[in-house]
Amino acid sequence: MFHPILLLLGFWYILPAYVANGLAIFSKLFRTRHPIDRGRVLRDGHPLLGAGKTWEGFAIGFVAGASVGILQYATAPVLLVLIEQYLFLPDQLRPVVLMTIPQVLLVALGALLGDVLGAFIKRRLNIPRGRPAPVLDQLAFLSVAILLGIIANPLPLILVGFLLLATPAIHLLANAIAYLLRLKDVPW
C-alpha cells in the first residue's frame, strides 16, 4: 500500500542517519586526525579500515545526527498535528513521526557503524580508500541505521523498502555536492 506521506516520513525517519553519515566528512577541518583503526593492518596486508575513518569524523557525525534527531523529537508533536490536519495518517505510521530519543540516537550511531563496516568490507575486497563500491557505499550505513533504529521502535516494511530504493540516488547526489564544495576528493 502506497501512502502519499511515505516520502516525508521516510526522510523524517532516516534524517539523523543521513546527517551523521554526511557530516562526518567535516573531520577534514581538523589539522590532526586520529584513525579509528590506529593504522592497523590485517594479515591480508590491507588496513583494518583506512585513514579515512577517524574518531573526529565519528564524533562530528554522531553529534550532528543526534542533534538533528533530538530536534526532530522536540518538533514531532507539531509535525504530527500538521500531518493529521491535512492528511490521513494510518496508525502504523504514527510511531515513525513520534520517534524516541533512544531511537534517534541509535539511528545516528547505526549510520556511522554501518559506514565503518562498509570500510572494513571494502578493505577486505581490496578496494582502495576513496574508490567506489556501488551498493555497499550507499546501503551499509543505511542498513545498520535501520537495524539499530528498529530495536527502539519497529519500522513499517514499506518504509524500509522506500529507503533502500531512494538512498542510493540521494547518496550519490550528496557526494557530488560535497565534491563540488571541495569536501571530497572524488564525486562518488
Grid cell locating 174: 550528496
Helix axes 157-180, 136-152, angle to 10 degrees: 130
**Range from 3-7, 50-54, 64-68 that averages highest in pLDDT:** 64-68
pLDDT at 2: 57
Q: Say which residue, 146 or 85, is predicted with more confidence.
A: 146
Residue with cell 590491507: 46
Q: How confident is the model at residue 3 (pLDDT cuts 50, 70, 90)?
A: low
Q: Is the pTM of this model over 0.85?
A: yes
Q: Per-residue pLDDT tens for 144-167?
A: 999 999 998 888 888 898 899 888
Q: Which residues neighbour 151 within 8 Å (Cβ) at sequence distance 6 or greater?
A: 106
| Interval 32-37 mean pLDDT | 94
pLDDT at 85: 84
Q: How confident is the model at residue 77 (pLDDT cuts 50, 70, 90)?
A: very high
Residue with cell 533502500: 164
Q: Per-residue pLDDT tens for 7-29?
A: 788 899 999 999 999 999 888 88
Q: From start to end of the chain, where are the E strands?
A: none
Q: Say which residue, 184 or 108, is predicted with more confidence.
A: 108
pLDDT at 59: 97
